[in-house]
Amino acid sequence: MNGRRFGGNVWLLGLLLLGGADLSSGQAQNAAPPPVSAPATPAADPALPDSPSESSSPQLPAADPAGPNLPVVPPNNSAPEPVVPDSPVPSSAAPDTAPADSGDQPTIELTRKGDDGKQRVIVIVRTGNDAAGIAVTCAPQDDEPADAPIVVVYSDSSVGGVQVTVDKNLIRAPLAVITKQGQKEGESSKGGDGHIEMSAGTAQFLDEPPQGKTDRLSRCAVQADPKPAPDTVFVTQGRTSLKGQSLVYDESDGVARIDGPITFDRAPATGKPETERLTGNSERIEVNVDKETTTLVGAVVLQNAGRVSKAERVDYDDAANVAILRGSPEAPAESVNGQEVICALVIRYNLDLNTVYAEGQIGGQFSDDAGSTSGTNAASSSNSGAPALGCSGR
């Protein structure tokens, strides 16, 4: 049996921009944008900004940290004192769920070229002001090659936090440490992939580089203190909000992995009742930049009204209103709605209609109009009423 529909109430990377920053060998740079009184106005669409900022200005001396450029901090020397604006961001403001306007904010972009030849951009923006954290770029030191990676630290305790746009997802957290590949000979100055780590935590300038430390941030007199914790990394995709505890993206495979436990919530469409809210959980999230997919991974459970759906992997697309549950013969995807139990290798779940469509080998327990039930699978039929293909029926 193939392609059966079941009712009941019943899915980053252009040009690198180091916003407002000139890099030179042996320099760390601190971004200090003009003070703002609050983060960007919340919105529901986490799409990439149409035109990322591409400003570039001459370096300012360390004595002028109030401008939009990054004041120079010589290596192995004292770091500038962070500037505290008169009006910090109020802690009671609503969470920011729209990409920040990167025009006046510290911004960096990673550019990834996929096997399909496309370039996709990951945009990282610090949304708050200097009272909320720091923004610093640590360039290659005097004894390092000129094309060595740069290391960027953004910390931001404001409600907008540090925002990363990956594919359809807007991800925010208080701390991000970004390693950006240096420019190789013959390469464009605006390209390059890298590595991102996000979590709760803080960062600060040190009075001087710690003795005996040889890592780049220590040599630039900067300290970052990641503190992963549940529900501190926020992911927004359309009407869907997810929470995790840390993110790691690496250029080696182009996948951003958000560790859980993951909690999941999709708000009802405008005008729809609260009973249409979709909730769930998983062990982690994987955002594949090249494939432009977002996947919930590990013991995934989605619950909406009377339907409970489970799978080991779920490709999720809020804009398309679809979740594709994927299983195996040993652990098939499963959806239960009242007395109806459906399991298959692939189940397409229409999120708005709360209906499922099974593909490939199918098993389960179904109710007819008379209220009786029967069990079946693709290879043979059985009237025993027991779930087939390994369906748990729970």
- Residue-wise pLDDT tens for the chain (394 aa)? 444 444 443 322 232 333 333 333 334 444 444 443 444 444 444 333 343 333 333 333 333 333 334 433 444 444 444 433 443 333 333 344 455 555 689 999 999 988 888 999 999 999 999 999 999 999 999 988 888 999 999 999 999 999 999 999 999 999 999 999 886 665 554 568 999 999 999 999 999 999 999 999 999 999 999 999 999 999 999 999 999 999 999 999 999 999 999 999 999 999 999 989 999 999 999 999 999 999 999 999 999 988 999 999 999 999 999 999 999 989 999 999 988 999 999 999 999 899 999 998 888 886 665 554 444 443 333 334 444 556 765 5
User: What's the pLDDT score for residue 35?
Assistant: 44
User: What's the pLDDT score for residue 182?
Assistant: 80
How far apart (Å, rounded) are the C-alpha atoms in residues 376 and 374? 7
User: What's the pLDDT score for residue 307?
Assistant: 94
Closest CA to 340 of 375, 304, 305, 313: 375
Q: What 8-state DSSP symbol labels residue 372?
A: -
Predicted TM-score (pTM) of the model is 0.71
> In 10 A of CB 188, how many CB atoms?
11
Closest CA to 247 of 171, 147, 321: 171
User: What's the pLDDT score for residue 356?
Assistant: 94
CATH number 3.30.110 is the correct assignment for the domain at 4-11+253-382: no
User: What's the pLDDT score for residue 188?
Assistant: 53
Give the residue carrying structure tokens 């182009």: 254
Closest CA to 69 of 33, 101, 116: 33
Half-sphere exposure of 392 (CA within 13 A, CB side): 11
DSSP result, 110-162: EEEE-TTS-EEEEEEEE-S-TTS--EEEEPPPTTS-TTSPEEEEEE--SSS-E
User: What's the pLDDT score for residue 185?
Assistant: 61
Q: What 8-state DSSP symbol labels residue 74?
A: -
User: What's the pLDDT score for residue 54?
Assistant: 39
User: What's the pLDDT score for residue 115?
Assistant: 85
| Residue 218: strand, helix, or coil | helix
